[in-house]
Amino acid sequence: MSADRRDAKGRQRGAARARGARNQSQQAPGQRRRTGDPARNAAYDVLRQVADSDAYANLVLPPLLRERGIVGRDAAFATELAYGTLRMLGRYDAVLAQCVDRPLDRVDPAVLDVLRLGAHQVLGMRVATHAAVSETVAVTRERVGAGPAQFVNAVLRKVSARPLDQWLEVLASQAPDGLARLAVTQSHPAWIARALREALVASGRSASELGDLLAADNEAPRVTLVARPGLSAVADLNGAEPGRWATTAAVLQGSDPGALEAVRDGTAGVQDEGSQLVTLALAGAVVDGPDERWLDMCAGPGGKAALLGAIAAERGARVVANESQEHRTELVRRSMKAVPRAAVESIRTGDGRDIGTDEPAAYDRVLLDAPCTGLGALRRRPESRWRRTPSDLGTLTALQRELLDSALDAVRPGGVVGYVTCSPHIAETQVVVDDVLRRRADVERLDAAEAVRAVATTEIPLTDRTDVQLWPHVHGTDAMHLTLLRRRA
């Protein structure tokens, strides 16, 4: 979260003065702008679209900033305001509930969103209180109407009466138990906090790490790049530093990967380092016999398919990239555009569940990066923790089982399947794998931890299990899971 002190327009104070900007908060109230500033209006519009249209903030905000010509520090301010507010919504709602004289579900949703934006400026961004309040009131007037402006002003004054640490003490003192305390103060739904605690323990770690994990989910991740082997090199990615674990990974210092030619031409891409590690580990696992034909069963949008394709090109293998949704197959095509043609057998649309029957024992390596709840990538998708429900698990885990069975049928005896999720929820990881293996005598587990260690550039902390669970608070990656399985020869 930004630690800069910012002025009313969200610019760093010194920088604003240097540009000669007028400080709105120094004007007499009657002269104050009655309209919101562009950055705050943009953040407000994102929150409304997320609430009303089930939009994804990280898909809505960038084009909105472009259309409105919001750039530089104002764009950074709008981004932190929108994403930070969405991530910390649970915490802010708990604070607001103490400051509003009725249940929050009886507050107009548009007004509640402005209050959340105000709370994030005051408690999460260290914007000066008078600026945060008056500018948020201006957004209210412009976007919601003059009526609620006074209400917003009064509530935000109450919010700003205590600093964040005092509010957290209040919230913690009201929580019924330790789990609820961490959930509310670290802004996670209780069911997700519980599932993450269970996953930590099941993966061989301690439940006491939960606070660190939830805090890591609340940090905006830095942009990680992949230098696709044989196509580009980490050293050529100007302005990026080598990653922590994967030979292919680089961490961008700025925030605009599109400024790099290698990213534009597809020889490099944006990809979490955990995604790179599990892909490299699958590519490095030992197969018995030929190693020529690889399948990425659920490839969209194509990050792992492009990495696999680049490795396949170096080894004389070729990849089939399959995806069930046509528009996502198109994303795979774009992502793989720099992969040499000889290494790409096809990029196609189809149901992965059919491949095991339609093409039995046809592949030497299969990546099944299964559709999942994404609970391992909460830091990347600001609103997703509030949108997911436990009922999503039933449908997804049934699909994951069917896809894993199909992947195991599609790989030839002696070949290897990598089962990957960007969720650590054990219902999607260990339980799926255990269930499928219980029914099949033709599959053995490989040591995925060993495979990850073999591709890591430095000693990587993993627990004493054969499957691998990465964690944001330990590895700085998304919470990716990898199980490696071999079809018995």
Ligand X SMILES: C[S@@+](CC[C@H](N)C(=O)[O-])C[C@H]1O[C@@H](n2cnc3c(N)ncnc32)[C@H](O)[C@@H]1O
Whose Cβ is closer to ligand X: residue 125's or residue 320's? 320
Distance CA 10, CA 177 (A): 37
Whose Cβ is closer to ligand X: residue 202's or residue 270's? 270
Is residue 99 among the annotated active site residues?
A: no
Least distance CB 474 / ligand X (angstroms): 21
Instruction: Report if residue 371 touches ligand X, rule: CB under 6 A.
Output: yes
Q: Does the annotation flag 369 for ligand binding?
A: yes
Whose Cβ is closer to ligand X: residue 299's or residue 449's? 299
Instruction: Report if residue 211 touches ligand X, rule: CB under 6 A.
Output: no
Q: Would strands 268-270 and 411-421 be described as parallel, antiparallel, or unpaired?
A: unpaired
Least distance CB 241 / ligand X (angstroms): 23
- Comparing CA positions, the residue from 26, 24, 4, 141 lying closest to residue 77 is 4
Binding piece for ligand X, criterion CB under 6 A, among 109-117, 126-134, 222-230, 347-355: 347-355
| Binding-site string for ligand X from residue 327 to residue 346, where x marks contact by CB under 6 A and - marks none | -x------------------
Least distance CB 394 / ligand X (angstroms): 15
Q: Does the annotation flag 178 for ligand binding?
A: no
Q: Does the annotation flag 131 for ligand binding?
A: no
Whose Cβ is closer to ligand X: residue 43's or residue 417's? 417
# residues near ligand X by CB under 6 A: 18
Among residue numbers 374 through 413, which ones bind ligand X (CB under 6 A)? none
Q: Does the annotation flag 9 for ligand binding?
A: no
Instruction: Report if residue 478 touches ligand X, rule: CB under 6 A.
Output: no
Whose Cβ is closer to ligand X: residue 136's or residue 400's? 400
Helix crossing, 38-53 with 129-139: angle to 10°? 60
Instruction: Report if residue 325 touches ligand X, rule: CB under 6 A.
Output: yes
Among residue numbers 217 through 276, which ones bind ligand X (CB under 6 A)? 275
φ, ψ (nearest 5 deg) of residue 467:
-85, 165
Q: Which amino acid is at 271?
A: Q
CA 181 to chain centroid: 24
Write out the two tokens for 122: 């005051």
Among residue numbers 40 through 99, which ones bind ligand X (CB under 6 A)? none
Positive or negative torsion for Cα 312, 313, 315, 316:
positive
Q: Does the annotation flag 372 for ligand binding?
A: no
Q: Does the annotation flag 383 for ligand binding?
A: no
Instruction: Report if residue 324 touches ligand X, rule: CB under 6 A.
Output: yes
Distance CA 417, CA 419 (A): 6
The one catalytic residue among 422, 426, 456, 462: 422
| Binding-site string for ligand X from residue 279 to residue 308, where x marks contact by CB under 6 A and - marks none | -------------------xxxxxxx----
Interacting residue ranges for ligand X, rule: CB under 6 A: 275, 298-304, 322-325, 328, 351-353, 369, 371
Which positions are annotated as active-site residues? 422
Binding residues for S-adenosyl-L-methionine: 298-304, 323, 351, 369
Binding residues: 298-304, 323, 351, 369
